[in-house]
Every structure is written in structure tokens, then in C-alpha cells.
Structure 1
Amino acid sequence: MSTYRSATELLGGSVLEVKRTWRSILGHLVSTLLAFLVVYVLIRLFGSARFETDLPIIRSLSVHWLLVVPLLFLAETLRVHHDDLYIFEKTKVTHQGGRLSLTYSVPVIYYRDIRSITVRQSLWGRIFDYGIIELSTAAQGETEMFIEGVGTPDELAVLVDELRVLNRKRNLEELGRTAEGDRSEVVGSELFFAVENAD
């Protein structure tokens, strides 16, 4: 069963939106769970302890305030998961990067311009089936777009390649139609010129 839509569906006008898979941020999830576990143990052991001081602000502090730490870990995990959005349309792929960060960018690559598609997976990526897809449009070997942390990257790379081939084919057909249209205009004007000279 396919994880992503087919190329024909996307060419028909459907849109495919892809985010990082949860499997790609397992480190963040484990850190969050460990932080919750440590804070839970501290609350169980020292929940009723108070600071001995004359300052009322410090006296009111308790171990329960440590719950802020795992909540910050959880917020960062959610930010990483939702920070990047990759939108695959009929003719282009758009990366909305940094949606929950200080810097925001929206690079766009048209399928017809893609020269190379590379899939990179770490050991954990191969085990949990996630990875990075690199899209390059220039012959210099520089990557213009990184599609990071996506599930089944091989399948998505095949989809991008199919869209690239189909878009190039469609562009060539349009160029052929345009060239035929230009030729017929030239032939029509030559006929008109010949008829005019015959009079």
C-alpha cells in the first residue's frame, strides 16, 4: 500500500502535504518522557519540602515548579514536528520552513528543473524508515532543498521523479504545440503574401 498519493492524482490537481514523521524525532520524544519521569520521581520524593527562608516568594516555591522543564521539552518536540511543511503540487514542491521558528523561508522548486534526487538515511533512519531527500536543480552539486525527516523517503523520491518526468514531457508537448502554432502562422502569412503578389 502506498503512503503517498500517486503522480496522476497530483497532476489532476490534488495537493500532498508532508511533515516530519514522529519516527524522525524519537530522540526528542524520549527526552521528553525522561524529563517527565525525573520530575515525577522528584515530586514523589520531595513534594512536600519547602525552603526555610524569610522571603515569601522563595518559601512558596516547591518541586512542582519543575514540571515546567518537561513541558518545555514537549513544546520543543511539537515545534520540531510542525516546523517544516512540504507541499507537493502539480508543477512544483514548496518548503515552508521555520513556521514555528524565528526565521521563515519558502523556497520553491519546479519539477521540470530538478536535475538530481538523493535519499540519505542514517542507521536509525533505515531502522525506522525515515530520511532526508535532497533536490538539486543546478549541475554544481549544491542542494537547493532538503526534505527532512519524512517517512518512506524512497517512495517519496520515486514520486518526485515521476512528477519530474511527467512535467518535462508536458512542457515538451507544450513547446511542440507552440512551435507548430508559430509554423502555421508563418505558413499562413507566406500564403497571404503569395496571394497578394498574384493580384
Structure 2
Amino acid sequence: MQADRKPASIYLVRHGETIWSASGQHTGRTDIALTDHGEDQARALRPMLSAVSFDQVFVSPATRARQTCSLAGLADAAQVEPDLAEWDYGRYEGMRSIDIRAERPGWAVYRDGCPGGETPGEVVLRADRLIARLRERGGTIALFSHGQIGSTLAVRWIGLSIIEGQHLVLGTAAVGVLGYNPGHADMPVISAWNLGPSH
């Protein structure tokens, strides 16, 4: 990071509710729009996010993330970032975890990945690549993204293995804040998790 740049502070925003997020279906590359409730959730983020002066805003290519960004009031500043796309669930796209485990007992996406989709290692490469760029940029940055790539970004931010992402659930239209310990400037931390008007 350049000496004249402040350390990165990342506001990680999950998209609002979709039909599939409400039903627990894994939604990777299927391009589903927000429900009416999801749109309301996204609008409700506006007061909190408008109080923050963002240096940059990045958004997943998915419609649900771009809608959330727009309704939250940050679309004019947003750039599409492919690395913010949700996991590619391959053959498990549209399935619920309970149904996957019925045919594959003990399955965990953060350990086992998805047949025909991404492996955990591939997602780590994507997350680490994005984190390196964000740290280099510095400043206050908003990321509009998804649940499981969001958890992956959070654990990789603090240097943990991707499997630890299973312990962090980011709700729809919820915000996590990634930054650094004020008393230890080189210590990355998760400053807040699941912030939002309905959380």
C-alpha cells in the first residue's frame, strides 16, 4: 500500500433476499432478482451506508448484488468486480444443503467444494487475489456480494483457512466490516458482522 493511503476498511454487503436465499437453495451463477422483501431490505441499508464516505465501491456481476447496490444508493460509484461472484456450485446449483447431504453425507462446501463447480482452493485463489488488490488500494471500500464468498473473504482477510468460513453466516442485506486493530495497525480483524437494520 502506498504511504499516503490509509489502511483498507472494507464494508462487505450481502445482497437482499431472493426466492432461493429464502428457501435455502444454493445460488451461484443463476441470475435471480431480489424479492419485494429483498428490495425493501436493500433500501433499508441506505441510511447506514450513506453515513460512510466510500473511496470505492465494487459489486458482483449478479443482478441481485447490483440491485442491492443500487437500492442502497451506491450504484453511481460502483464498478463490477468478477471476483465478487458467488461460488460456482456446479451440479449443486439450486440444491439445499440438506438435500446434498442426503446423497453425500457430511458434505461441507468450504471443505469439499462442488462437482462441476469450484473447489475451495479455487475460491481461495479468487478471494486472496481480491484482498491483495484491496489492501494495495487502501481507503474505505464497499463490496456488494454474496453469502459464502463473503464468509470466505472474511476468514481469508484475517489469515484463516477457508474451512473456518462455515462459522460465519452473513444474513441477507447484512454488512460485515473488515479492517485493522486500532492498537496494532498490522493486525487484520473482523470489526463487525451482520450489521443492518433487520439484524
TM-score (normalised: structure 1): 0.20
Query: Which structure: larger Rg?
Result: 1
TM-score (normalised: structure 2): 0.20
Instruction: Select the structure with the greater relative contact order (CA < 8 A; seq sep ≥ 6).
Output: 2
